[in-house]
Structures are given as structure tokens and as C-alpha cells.
Amino acid sequence: MLNLDCKEHDEQMAALATLCLWILIHFVTGTPGAWREVIKVTSNLLEKVDIHTWNLSTTAALTYQSFSSSFALVQTQYLGRLEFPASLKTSLPGVEMSKSQIMPAQSLELVSSFNTKLLQKPCLAPDELDQLEIEFALSTPEPSTDFDIGNPDSAMVHHHRSLFYYASLLYFRCNSGRRGPEQEIQDLVARCLDHMEQLQMLQKHSSPNTWIYAAVAFEAATPELRYRMRCLFSERKSLGIATWDTLLLLVEEVWMRRDNAHPEVAPEPWTRIVAALPEHDVILY
């Protein structure tokens, strides 16, 4: 940890890589709340280091972008808290993002912007919401230049990008106060599940993005959609990653609370429910 105060590029890069590994360890072990201190230390490191430092090598750029893209999603878990880390740029100056990136840059930037605004003030102005609503709806990912549905690798990129787009749109609608008709929400959940099931066939025994699973699973309200969601969670059992088991418990808790709520009251955003359950505070990234 002494390297956190060093000025040398190699030591700064090594420190960031070590912290990323530490976060991964907390993801695997699933110790509630333990990951927050590492996020805080990592955020402090990146605040001190000039952003252009991470452009000095390909390895440094990839390491930074790996953390910053995850951080944009992890911000969700700071909503409703008095203390939260400063926002980060999801991309580096002068570094072009690949069109085959599984999390489309535009959707990722919108999630980051939305979370940052909510952290600063829980209730956004109508004109801000109008603008975000339009941007989320129009942020459809650009098709990969070499897309081929018959090619497993190409199909995998397609499903990942489409899934993240729909999950981001779902997250915005369900946490902005503009949920809209419930049937539209369930249709979005079904679209996400279609892509998740395709990815399950293409990437058996993998560990998908837990934030995406959370954003989709929490909103599933029908027996059929919940059954499909449980089936996908059951495929994660063999991984031995504690966070997946805790996330399923959290999903079941959110479902139970919503089922017991008054039917005429709009569903409480899952970010508020999760914030009140510290025993299930595992990192979603």
C-alpha cells in the first residue's frame, strides 16, 4: 500500500492493478461491506494521479478502463448514503473504445452520469429527466463491424451489447420515478432475459456482470420471468462465488417486499431497498 503515494508510473499502475485484484477477491468471498474500503482507497488513488498517466501504456489504459467501467455501475450502491466516492471518467482522452466492447460506451456513460446526478441530489428536475430519458432510449449500440450471428464470438458480443443497453434503460426507468406502465417494464425484463439465456448457452460456466443480473432480476414480477431468472442463477452455483448466492437471496427479498406492498403503490426502487440490507451488501460489478 506504500505505492499509493509514489509518483512513478509503474508503481501507480501496479497499485491500481493490486486494488482491482483485491476488489475481485471481495467479489469471490462475498464478505458484506468489505469491498467499500477498497473502492474508497482506489478512488483516492485515481483522484491524486493525473488522468493522462493512464495513457502512457496499453496495460495502464486497460487497467484504468476496467476499473472505471465497473465503478460507473458500483456507484449505484452508494445511492442514499451520505458519503460516496467522486465520479470517474469512463474513458481516457485520446483512447478510442472498440465497437466490440461488450458494454457500449454511450450506455455506460449515461449510467455513470445518471448515478452521479442521483448522488448529488436524489430528485432530478423534470427537464434533466426528459433529457436523460431521450438519451437512454436513443443509446442503441452501434453494430460491430464484423457481426456474424453464426460466429459464436460475434454473437456473444451482440448479445452482451444488446443486454447492457436494455438493462441500462430498465435501470433508468425504475430508478428515475418514470417507471411507466408495468407491462412495458416486464417486456424489457423479458428482452433482457432472452439475451441472458443466449449468453448462457454461449458462455457456460462463466460469471456474468452481477450489476446487470441485479438490474434485471429485481424487476421481474411474473412467475414465468422469475422462474427464468432463478434458472439462470442456478447456473452460477458451480462457480463457488459467494456474491452470486448472496445476490439471489437479495433478489428474493426484494420480490417478497414488493409482493407484500400495496398494489396501488408504485414499486419502491431496488436501490433504496438494498441500501437498507447491510447483511447483503456485496459488490455488484
Spatial contact of 135 and 154, defined as CB atoms under 8 Å apart: no
pLDDT digits (tens, 9 = 90+) for 162-177: 999 999 999 999 999 9
List b or e across 36-75, with b for residues whose CB sees 16 or more CB atoms inside 10 angstroms: bebbebbbebbeebeeebbeeeeebbebbbebbbbbbbbb
253-270: pLDDT as tens digits:
999 999 999 988 889 999
Q: How confident is the model at residue 10 (pLDDT cuts 50, 70, 90)?
A: confident
Helix (H) or strand (E) holding 9: helix 9-29
Cell triple for 61: 489504459
Q: Tell me what percent of the residues of the chain surpass a pLDDT of 90.
A: 66
- Amino acid 149: pLDDT: 65
Three-class SS of residue 252?
A: helix
More confident residue, 54 or 84: 54
Separation CA 79–CA 127 (nearest Å): 21
For 198-215, the pLDDT digits (tens) are 999 999 888 999 999 999
- Rounded Cα gap, residues 126 and 226, in angstroms: 33
Q: How far apart are CA 37 and CA 121, in angstroms?
A: 23
What are the structural domain ranges in the chain?
A: 2-280
**What per-residue confidence (pLDDT) applies to 248?**
98
Q: Is the dihedral of CA 93, 99, 102, 108 positive or negative?
A: positive
What nine digits make up the cell of 140?
442503441
Query: How far is the C-alpha of 243 from the C-alpha of 31, rounded, in Å?
Result: 8
Tell me what percent of the residues of the chain surpass a pLDDT of 70: 93
Name the band, by pLDDT with cuts 50, 70 and 90, for residue 2: very low
The predicted pLDDT at position 1 comes to: 47
Q: What is the pLDDT of residue 100?
A: 46
Are residues 236 and 199 in contact, defined by beta-carbon separation less than 8 angstroms? Answer: no
Please write down the long-range contacts of 54-63, taking CB distance under 8 Å and 24 or more positions apart.
54/13, 54/92, 55/92, 55/93, 55/94, 55/95, 56/9, 57/9, 57/13, 59/13, 60/9, 60/13, 60/16, 61/92, 61/95, 63/13, 63/16, 63/17, 63/20
Kind and range of the H or E run holding 139? none
Report which residue type is found at 213.
Y
Query: Highest mean pLDDT: which of 6-20, 103-117, 199-213, 217-231?
Result: 217-231
Convert the pLDDT of each residue in 38-80 to its tens digit: 999 999 999 889 888 898 888 888 899 889 989 999 999 999 7
Query: What does pTM read for this prediction?
Result: 0.93
Q: At 147, is the pLDDT very low, low, confident or very high (cuts 50, 70, 90)?
A: low
